[in-house]
Structure 1
């Protein structure tokens, strides 16, 4: 676990595509972004910003790819649990 927020947390990906591949996800299981509470949305965004800052300090990358896959056909590996990469 990299960081715990009130409603979400950041972890390193178990099967990383690249160095620094991490995930930000709410504690509560929900399958779509429109199911997130306003507090969860804000906490996830704050963790994404903190994670990007940590990656910048650790790796100094030229760029970032931040996104999410919703649904199995879109590539979501954890069904019914929204998470950002």
Structure 2
């Protein structure tokens, strides 16, 4: 319970960050947006939808779609220039 990202901790994250959340999440409502708004690093927030079959927590039911988007982000973010 002592662990948190408050009081400037999230702002210290420097590595590129890819964050995913379902639009209609049942768990941790609002936390993805709260963290995303505090980050100052290169960041991407991707929302998955029910229509994509990815509306459940952790995009369950659409793993291939989630991994494809994650790997596309990795290719674009970490690829050498």
- Above 0.5 in TM-score? no
TM-score, length-scaled by structure 1: 0.36
TM-score, length-scaled by structure 2: 0.38
